[in-house]
Amino acid sequence: MPLSGFSDTPQAKFKSQGEIYNMNVTSNDQLTAYGWNEEWQQTLAAQEKPPRECSPARVVAQFSHSYNIMTPSGIHSAAVTGKFEFLAAKRGDYPAVGDWVLAEPLPGENRSVIHAVLPRRSAMVRKVAGAVIEDQIVGANLDYLFIVTALNQDFNLRKIERYMIAAWESGASPVVLLTKSDLCPEPDDFAAQVEDAAPGVPVHCVSALTGLGKEALEAYMRPGVTIAVTGSSGVGKSTLLNWLAGQSLQLTQGIREDDARGRHTTTHRELFLLDNGALVMDTPGMRELQLWDAQEGWQQAFSDIEQFAESCRFRDCRHEGEAGCAVLEALNSGELDAKRFANYRKTEKELAHLARKERSSAAKAGSKGKRPRSAGKAERRPIKLLDDMDYE
Ligand SMILES: Nc1nc2c(ncn2[C@@H]2O[C@H](COP(=O)(O)OP(=O)(O)OP(=O)(O)O)[C@@H](O)[C@H]2O)c(=O)[nH]1
Ligand SMILES: [Zn+2]
């Protein structure tokens, strides 16, 4: 009984390296529930055929040396092949939670080996500082990133702007949730401020206490849609997830256990399938998103400023007193908020700092792209990239 997607049930045909293979993975309910669809089917069709009988599977949890993946025959424990490891040039090449992989089941076992990772649609990336700065994928193939801020002392536009950079850079669609609306007399005023700071991004006021905003959020929770939640500690992410799930999810903290031989128990999930069909991702790294070298994302996050900049007389205007600078003009006229501009500057400086550090560590690492021994065997210990930023 082949478990493989490359079985001979003629569902969809695809061509690869001059051969035609038959696929029946779309008929697999389990994979469909985890987000497999026609588009992924096409992505798969464009891949080289793996050397062995493989089927698609989705990574639902990541440990230091292994993964849990959802396969057509249920959850398997999995590891990448030796060849994969040999070919992986950097940490980001390894599977991450949310990835679709091509996995070969081992006969008679609930284990598989991973041959390949399908190209990601989106990825939340975090720069991890070490001897070399590396990309760590904290979550792959997200549809929405819920950026959560509480309507109390936590509320901080500058912080939201930073999260927005990460979201734009990832390819996931950001949605801002203002939690604990019940504690705030005028939640809509805050929502309006966010809308100004994040043009075009949906903003919802919610309260787990009163039920405010639940309907709006349910609109995102469609079958097969993958959602992650990020925001500072205590803003109500767990409460929100449980509330949306209508059940108490086993959330990341405190449930990672080792057995006597130092292996992880296999019950652990970081990608949850909810009753409403949506998938919620809750990885440790996702909760601690900070800031990265995110050139594109950052321009989008500050698109209002970039827009002013387009009218600057000089294309390479630094907005530091040059003649005909439209940004400084907007600042003077009050059209551009001074605080927002200050944050733009600060972010720019930090990104530059990071880029310099990266260049110098790359230079030290020497020979082209050679990866350090430990790469990919990601320690899950959170590593803070920059000191806690003092948002003003
Ligand atoms: N008043 C009010 N309190 C809330 C609401 N949502 C969450 N809380 C409370 O806020 C506190 C923190 O909530 P959590 O859900 O644990 O916050 P978190 O963001 O998951 O925190 P970490 O796990 O540290 O990242 C808890 O005491 C919740 O009861 C809300 O809508 N209204
Ligand atoms: Zn200018």
For CA atoms 354, 356, 359, 365, give the dihedral sign: negative
What are the residues whose beta carbons fall under 8 Å from the beta carbon of 275, sequence distance 6 or more?
A: 245, 246, 247
DSSP sequence for 85-142 = HHH--SGGGS--TT-EEEEEEPTTSSEEEEEEEPPPS-EEEEEE-SSS-EEEEEEES-
Nearest ligand, measured from the Cα of 311: 2
Contact 232, 265 (CB under 8 A): no
Q: What is the mean pLDDT of residues 358-381?
A: 43
Tell me the β-bridge partners of 144. Answer: 173, 227
Tell me the β-bridge partners of 136. Answer: 126
Q: Report how far ligand 1's centroid is from the alpha carbon of 240 (Å).
A: 8
Give the separation between CA 160 and CA 148, rounded to whole angstroms. Answer: 8
Give the separation between CA 299 and CA 310, rounded to whole angstroms. Answer: 12
pLDDT at residue 106 tops 80: yes
Q: What is the mean pLDDT of residues 85-91?
A: 90
- CB of residue 183 inside a 6 A radius of ligand 1: yes
Q: Report how far ligand 2's centroid is from the alpha carbon of 133 (Å).
A: 32
Nearest ligand, measured from the Cα of 241: 1
Residue 233 annotated as binding site: yes
Give the separation between CA 392 and CA 390, rounded to whole angstroms. Answer: 6
Contact 180, 207 (CB under 8 A): yes
| Closest CA to ligand 1's atom 6 | 236
pLDDT at residue 204 tops 80: yes
Residue 205 annotated as binding site: no
Probe ligand 1: pick from 239, 240, 250, 252, max atoms within 8 Å of CB?
239
Instruction: Return the number of other C-beta atoms located less than 10 Å from residue 352's C-beta.
Output: 11
- CB of residue 233 inside a 6 A radius of ligand 1: yes
pLDDT in tens, 210-265: 999 999 999 999 999 999 988 887 888 888 888 888 766 655 433 334 443 444 44
Domains, the chain, ranges and CATH?
Answer: 12-119 (2.40.50.140), 141-287 (3.40.50.300), 302-363 (1.10.40.50)
For the record, the structure tokens of 71 come out as 């396969």
Give the separation between CA 296 and CA 351, rounded to whole angstroms. Answer: 12
Residue 357's pLDDT is what? 60
Residue 238's pLDDT is what? 86
Residue 359's pLDDT is what? 59
Atom of ligand 1 nearest to the CA of 241: 15
Q: Report how far ligand 1's centroid is from the alpha carbon of 126 (Å).
A: 25
- CB of residue 209 inside a 6 A radius of ligand 1: yes
- CB of residue 182 inside a 6 A radius of ligand 1: yes
Give the separation between CA 24 and CA 203, rounded to whole angstroms. Answer: 40
Residue 81 annotated as binding site: no
- CB of residue 239 inside a 6 A radius of ligand 1: yes
Atom of ligand 1 nearest to the CA of 208: 31
pLDDT at residue 123 tops 80: yes
| Closest CA to ligand 1's atom 8 | 236
- CB of residue 234 inside a 6 A radius of ligand 1: yes
Please state, in angstroms and as integers, the Cα–Cα distance from residue 259 to each residue in 74, 263, 267, following that order: 22, 5, 12
Atom of ligand 1 nearest to the CA of 251: 23
pLDDT in tens, 126-160: 766 555 666 789 999 999 999 999 998 878 887 88
pTM: 0.70
* 361: exposed, middle or buried (Cβ count in 10 Å: 0-12, 13-18, 19+): middle
Please report how many Cα atoms fall inside a 13 Å half-sphere around the Cα of residue 208, on the Cβ side: 16
Greatest mean pLDDT among 141-150, 159-168, 368-377 lies in 141-150
Cα dihedral 68, 70, 72, 73, rounded to 10, equals: 50
Residue 361's pLDDT band, with cuts at 50, 70 and 90, is low
Q: What is the mean pLDDT of residues 3-10?
A: 34
Minimum mean pLDDT among 22-31, 124-133, 312-321: which range? 22-31
Give the separation between CA 315 and CA 375, rounded to whole angstroms. Answer: 40
**Which residue reads 């035609």 in tokens?**
20
Give the separation between CA 212 and CA 197, rounded to whole angstroms. Answer: 23
Contact 162, 347 (CB under 8 A): yes
| Closest CA to ligand 1's atom 26 | 236
What are the residues whose beta carbons fall under 8 Å from the beta carbon of 252, sequence distance 6 or more?
A: 270, 282, 283, 284, 287
Average pLDDT, rounded, for the chain: 77
- CB of residue 208 inside a 6 A radius of ligand 1: yes
Residue 235 annotated as binding site: yes
For CA atoms 303, 305, 307, 312, give the dihedral sign: negative
Q: Which long-range contacts (CB under 8 A, 24 or more apart) does 27-33 make?
A: 28/55, 28/72, 30/70, 30/71, 30/72, 30/73, 30/74, 31/56, 31/57, 31/58, 31/70, 31/72, 32/224, 33/223, 33/224, 33/273, 33/277
Query: What percentage of the chain exceeds 70 in pLDDT?
Result: 71
Residue 347 annotated as binding site: no
Instruction: Return the number of other C-beta atoms located less than 10 Å from residue 176's C-beta.
Output: 25
> ipTM of the assembly?
0.94
Residue 254 annotated as binding site: no
Cα separation of the two ends of the chain: 61
- CB of residue 235 inside a 6 A radius of ligand 1: yes
Q: Strand 123-128 to strand 19-23: parallel, antiparallel, or no bridges (unpaired)?
A: unpaired
Residue 150's pLDDT is what? 92
